[in-house]
């Protein structure tokens, strides 16, 4: 997605060879026009999949996920990382390790919001090692629902998550695939480099 790639080049900050900071437009301050366009793009890429629910993890995945759910006219569910007083029992739970935050969280989704006949699209902001997606897949499987695809805003394709998920048979669509952050420079996969320069 050209506009997203340009935004990453213009405003993204490379903190290390493995960490890209995008908090000026995705995960702290948000660009609502870009979010809407990402929702439209995900809706195009996952059209005709019979999606009944969109699922993400709080909090950075919520904005692109709600825009995607809006396009499909289906509910968005976000898995909670923090325990809620109103959400104690009757929940699906999984463990997720965050590469960026270097911590493990229990994620929870109320059983009332996922059913065996649901066809679920996972949306998240980053894909690195695939832990968040695998945690959400686990939740969906506990509900005996079906994972119909995984939409990622930024995939760090030099880390193993994307390959792991695709090799497991999941349809993964990433709006920007970063192949390297070496030397403080963002490089996209070659097929996306052509897209951004045209």
Nearest 5°: the CA angle 44, 180, 62 is 40
Confidence band of 196 (pLDDT split at 50, 70, 90)? very low
Question: How does the average pLDDT of the chain come out, rounded?
Answer: 92
Cα–Cα distance, 87 to 188 (Å, whole number): 41
Can you give the pLDDT at residue 138?
98
Can you give the pLDDT at residue 197?
39
Handedness of CA 169, 174, 179, 181 (dihedral sign): negative
Q: How many CA atoms lie within 13 A of 82 on its CB side?
A: 4
Flag whether pLDDT at 22 surpasses 70: yes
Structure tokens at 158: 């030099």
Cα–Cα distance, 178 to 136 (Å, whole number): 23
Q: What average pLDDT does range 98-118 have in this prediction?
A: 88
- As beta bridge partners, residue 107 has 94
The residues near 23 (Cβ < 8 Å, ≥ 6 apart) are 29
Flag whether pLDDT at 198 surpasses 60: no
What domains does the chain contain, in order, with CATH numbers?
2-197 (3.40.50.2020)
Can you give the pLDDT at residue 102?
75
Structure tokens at 159: 């880390």
Q: Tokens 């009944």 map to which residue? A: 52
| Exposed/middle/buried for residue 3 (C-beta within 10 Å: 0-12, 13-18, 19+) | middle
Cα–Cα distance, 184 to 133 (Å, whole number): 27
Structure tokens at 40: 């439209």
pLDDT tens-place string over residues 36-76: 999 999 999 999 999 999 999 998 999 999 999 999 999 99
pTM: 0.92
Can you give the pLDDT at residue 85?
58
pLDDT tens-place string over residues 167-181: 999 999 999 999 999
């Amino acid at each position: 997605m050209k506009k997203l790639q340009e935004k990453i080049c213009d405003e993204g900050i490379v903190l290390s060879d493995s960490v890209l900071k995008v908090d000026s437009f995705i995960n702290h301050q948000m660009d609502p026009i870009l979010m809407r366009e990402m929702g439209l793009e995900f809706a195009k890429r996952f059209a005709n999949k019979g999606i009944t629910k969109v699922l993400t993890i709080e909090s950075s995945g919520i904005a692109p996920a709600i825009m995607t759910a809006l396009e499909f006219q289906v509910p968005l569910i976000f898995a909670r990382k923090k325990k809620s007083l109103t959400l104690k029992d009757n929940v699906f739970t999984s463990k997720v390790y965050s590469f960026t935050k270097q911590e493990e969280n229990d994620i929870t989704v109320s059983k009332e919001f996922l059913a065996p006949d649901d066809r679920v699209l996972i949306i998240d902001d980053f894909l690195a090692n695939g832990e968040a997606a695998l945690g959400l897949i686990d939740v969906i499987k506990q509900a005996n629902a079906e994972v119909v695809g995984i939409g990622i805003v930024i995939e760090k394709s030099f880390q193993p998550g994307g390959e792991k998920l695709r090799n497991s048979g999941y349809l993964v669509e990433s709006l920007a695939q970063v192949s390297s952050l070496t030397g403080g420079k963002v490089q996209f996969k070659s097929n996306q480099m052509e897209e951004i320069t045209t």
